[in-house]
Chains A and B, each alone.
Chain A
Amino acid sequence: MGSFFTSRLFVISLIVVVVAATLPWYVSGYVLGLLTVAYYFGVFAMSWDLLFGFAGEVNFGPTFLIGVGAYTAGIVNAQFGLSPYICIVLGAAAAVIAGFVLALPALRVRGPYFGLTTLVAVLILQSFIVVFADLTGGEIGLTIPDVITIDSHANYWIALGFMTISAAILYGLAQSPVGLVLQASGQDAVQAGALGFNIVKHKLAAFVVSAFFSGLSGALLVFYFGTASVGTVVDIAVGVNVIVAAVLGGRRTVLGAALGAIFLIVAGEFLRPTGELATFIVSAVALLVVLFFPGGFLGAALSREARQ
């Protein structure tokens, strides 16, 4: 661990975080708002990468976990008026339970079937939100009475701090012996099992950790937005963005996923002048990266460094 604190990655990350923390003093509130959302998105992508890059399980429904966390927090706040902090904790807890319930049967099946189960979970959540419109606000969305703070600087720092801590925990977990077992079970489940590791238990743990961070981030995001709606936290399109961000940034890198998410949101904003073609251009760039640099941004950078 001692060598880690002097490693290049640690130094670069530290510099990036410190520079990012000073941004509120010289960029506009608009850019800050954009980055705040991008940071929460980064946590979504990192939690997804833990599951895909390491456990080798493709979760097509990251928004199931995000949505459960976000809506639980929002509904508890709107119905019972508890403080946002309690709501956020409850949201994360609900996401963990939902992740556990989903993962137990889903992990019994392999490959595409796992992905499909998770995809269906999103569709069902979406339908229930529409059916129980009295509670959830339906298609219009749920208005949340409380916010953590309305100060854009504070919101930005909360998001940055949250992403940094999440990144440190998720990255640490991925590099730990547990992460190695996960990686082994993702690549060859039979061999890893033959070495005496309980594959299902490890994958379940990965799913629960992924659910925890997704739910927590989702809950924080709704308290930033002040609303929860299908279009922002549950829709399949949101899940697709999370997946694209993780693949773009580089799978199996954790930190790359956060970079991918920030890139995706900032690029979408820069392309705003191109109007309706913005999504087209972002998708086309993502497709090119998938086709020609399958390792993603960070993957390509790391492999170049490894070669030198």
Chain B
Amino acid sequence: MLAFQILIDGFAISALYALGAMGFTLIFGVSGVLNLSHGAIMVAAAVAAWAAASVLNTDSYTGALIGIFVALIMSFATYFVVVQPIQKSRRIPNEEKEIFVLTGTLLWGIMIQELIAYFFTNNAKTVLPIIEGVVNIMGVRTPQNEIFTAVVCCVVIGLLWLLVNRTRTGKVVLAASMNPRGVTLLGHELNNVYIVVWAIYGVLAGLAGVLLGMFLGVSSYSVGPLTASAFSIVVLGGLGSVSGSLIAAIVVGYLETLTAYLINPAYRTIPALLLLVVVMYIRPQGLLGRR
């Protein structure tokens, strides 16, 4: 009974974590950007979906779409307002661009967070589930929406895999992550590749945010922890490795669920962090990372 409960809840959490971290690692892999406004964009999507349903009275599908759309806009804004100007700036030496992008996106994330808090208060918001009802799986009462969440995450991750490995655009993105100069020599505009990646990122982060809003609920306080969890999953898996983050998401998701059910919900995040430190000491590039 408890074992099944852990199995089911852990899977849903893992799938959600994987979806959230996927876009994050994709951007790092292709353009070397660690986007610290990640959590803010996810929360913005969830809050937009919530606002659409409760203020504009749309149904939950439209609400979810609005949430994803908002995340897409935010993603482009992050790229064009913060990341691109820093990357193109001549006053910032190349070896310091990384820290400037980190600082810039961090500040940007705080700005988004504060605006959300200002307009929608700090209260936790739960997005209305798309599918209502509860089913009984092997003696465990599971909300149908939890199953829906897990399915959507898996399907989207599958689609992403197809997009990257089977389509022309995807192959260019993949090539750009391996050798940007080679891609430009083949006649592809690197800027367009980045725009595609940020678009994919926006949709993924938006979807993850909206689903998280249905599953656990979000508030402007979730911004930091969300960024941190995406960060640790991506590091655990290896920066820039999509399959690595997938494995790491499952490890972290189950570790957290196990701790919460078997030991104490308050210690939820600790084992994952300790694991992260151990991995950093033994294998700093992460499970599947490249040096």
Contact = CB atoms under 8 A, between A and B. Distances in A.
Contact of B277 (A117, A128, A131): A117
Contact of B276 (A56, A120, A277): A120
Contacts of B267: 127, 131
Interface stretch (B49-57, B99-107, B134-142, B182-190): B99-107
B114 A290 contact: no
Given A187-B95, A287-B104, A290-B104, A105 B281 contact: yes
A284 B117 contact: no
Contacts of A32: none
B221 to A, nearest CB: 11
Contacts of A109: 280, 284
A128 B269 CA distance: 11
B98 A112 contact: yes
Nearest to B280: A117
Summarize B's interface: helix, strand, loop or mixed. Answer: helix
Interface stretch (B9-17, B63-71, B231-239): B231-239
Interface string A192-227: 000000000000000000000000000000000000
B34 interface: yes
B254 interface: no
B86 interface: yes
Contact of B107 (A105, A116, A244): A244
Interface of B: 34, 82, 85-86, 89, 91-92, 95-96, 98-100, 102-104, 106-108, 110-111, 114-115, 117-118, 224, 228, 231-232, 235, 239, 266-267, 269-270, 273-274, 276-277, 280-281, 284-285
A280 B270 contact: no
Given A290-B103, A294-B89, A112 B111 contact: no
Nearest to B118: A276
23 contacts: A112-B34, A113-B235, A115-B102, A120-B276, A123-B269, A123-B273, A128-B270, A131-B266, A187-B95, A240-B110, A247-B100, A276-B117, A279-B114, A280-B110, A283-B107, A283-B108, A283-B110, A284-B107, A287-B104, A287-B107, A287-B108, A290-B86, A294-B89
Contacts of B273: 120, 123-124, 127
A108 B92 contact: no
Given A116-B280, A283-B111, A287-B108, A294 B100 contact: yes
B220 to A, nearest CB: 10
A178 interface: no
A284 B98 CA distance: 19
A127 B280 contact: no
A298 interface: no
A111 B103 CA distance: 15
B111 A287 contact: yes
Contacts of A240: 106, 110
A119 interface: yes
B111 A277 contact: no
Interface in A233-274: 236-237, 240, 243-244, 247, 251
Contacts of B269: 123, 127
Q: How large is the interface on A (under 10, 10 to 19, 20 to 34, 35 or more residues)?
A: 35 or more
A295 B91 contact: yes
Given A113-B235, A240-B110, A279-B110, A291 B85 contact: yes
Given A109-B280, A286-B107, A120 B89 contact: no
A185 to B, nearest CB: 12
A119 B111 CA distance: 21
Interface of A: 52, 56, 58, 105, 108-109, 111-113, 115-117, 119-121, 123-124, 127-128, 130-131, 187, 236-237, 240, 243-244, 247, 251, 276-277, 279-280, 283-284, 286-287, 290-291, 294-295
Contact of A116 (B106, B231, B270): B231
A260 to B, nearest CB: 12
Nearest to A247: B103
Given A113-B235, A124-B273, A287-B107, A276 B114 contact: yes
B148 to A, nearest CB: 31
Given A244-B103, A290-B107, 9 more contacts: A56-B95, A113-B280, A117-B277, A117-B280, A120-B276, A247-B103, A277-B114, A277-B118, A287-B107
B284 A113 contact: yes
Q: Residue among A105, A108, A236, A280 with the most chain B CB within 10 A?
A: A280
Contacts of B82: 287, 291
A131 to B, nearest CB: 6
Contacts of B270: 124, 127-128, 131
A297 B62 CA distance: 47
A283 B114 contact: yes
A244 to B, nearest CB: 7
Contacts of A124: 270, 273-274, 277
A76 to B, nearest CB: 24
A109 B238 CA distance: 13
Given A105-B280, A105-B281, A291 B118 contact: no
A279 B34 CA distance: 23
Nearest to A287: B107
A236 B224 contact: yes
Given A124-B274, A283-B107, A291-B104, A58 B281 contact: no
A203 to B, nearest CB: 15
A107 B78 CA distance: 31
B111 A294 contact: no
A243 B82 CA distance: 17
A131 B104 CA distance: 33
